[in-house]
Amino acid sequence: MLLYYIEKRVQKSFYVPISSVYKSALGVLSLDQKIPVLIIGGGIVGLSTSLFLSSHGINSLLIERHPSTSIHPRAAGYYPRTMELYRSVGLESTILDYSQKFNTPCIGKGETLIGKEEFRYDLPNDDFLNKITPTTYANIPQDVLEPIVLAHARVLGSDIRFNTELVSFEQNNEGIAALIKNRTTGVEQTVYAQYLVAADGSKSPIRQKLKIPIQGLGKVGDSMSILFKADLKKALMGRKFNVFYVDNQQVSGLLAFYDDRSLLTFPYYPEKGDHIENFTDDYCTKLVRSAIGDPNLDLDILKIQPWEISSFVAKSYQNNRIFLVGDAAHVMPPVGGFGANTGIQDAHNLAWKLAYVLKGIANPSLLATFEIERKPIAEFTVEQATLRLMSHSGSRESSSDKIVDEMNVTLGYSYRSQAIIEEESDLIPFSNDSRQRTGQSGTRAPHFKLKRNNDSLSTLDLFGHHFVLLVGADGRDWSKAAQKVAKRLNIVLDIHVINKEKNLLDVDHLWCDTYGVTSKGAVLIRPDGFIGWKSQNKVENPEQTMEQALSQLLCLDA
Q: What is the phi/psi pair of residue 44, to 5°?
A: -65, -35
Name the DSSP letter for residue 80: H
CB–CB of 389/416 below 8 Å? no
Cα 523 to Cα 534: distance, rounded to the nearest angstrom: 4
Q: 20-44 in b/e burial notation, b at 16+ Cβ within 10 A? A: ebeebeeeeeeeebebbbbbbbbbb
CB–CB of 50/38 below 8 Å? no
Catalytic residue among 98, 137, 195, 245: 245
Q: How far is CA 139 from CA 99, 125, 150, 376, 410, in A?
A: 6, 14, 18, 27, 16
Q: CA nearest 338: which of 128, 79, 125, 83?
A: 79
Q: What is the phi/psi pair of residue 461, to 5°?
A: -70, -10
Cα 77 to Cα 142: distance, rounded to the nearest angstrom: 9
Cα 531 to Cα 326: distance, rounded to the nearest angstrom: 24
Cα 225 to Cα 305: distance, rounded to the nearest angstrom: 5
Active site residue 245: yes
Cα 97 to Cα 550: distance, rounded to the nearest angstrom: 38
Angle at alpha carbon of residue 63, lines to 57 and 67, rounded to 5°: 130
CB–CB of 147/100 below 8 Å? no
Q: CA nearest 483: which of 475, 417, 491, 556?
A: 491
CB–CB of 108/239 below 8 Å? yes
Cα 389 to Cα 268: distance, rounded to the nearest angstrom: 15
The alpha-helical segments, DSSP class H, found in 425-475 are: none
Classify residue 361 as exposed, middle or buried by CB count within 10 Å of its CB (0-12, 13-18, 19+).
middle
Cα 552 to Cα 554: distance, rounded to the nearest angstrom: 5
CB–CB of 155/147 below 8 Å? no
Active site residues per annotation: 245
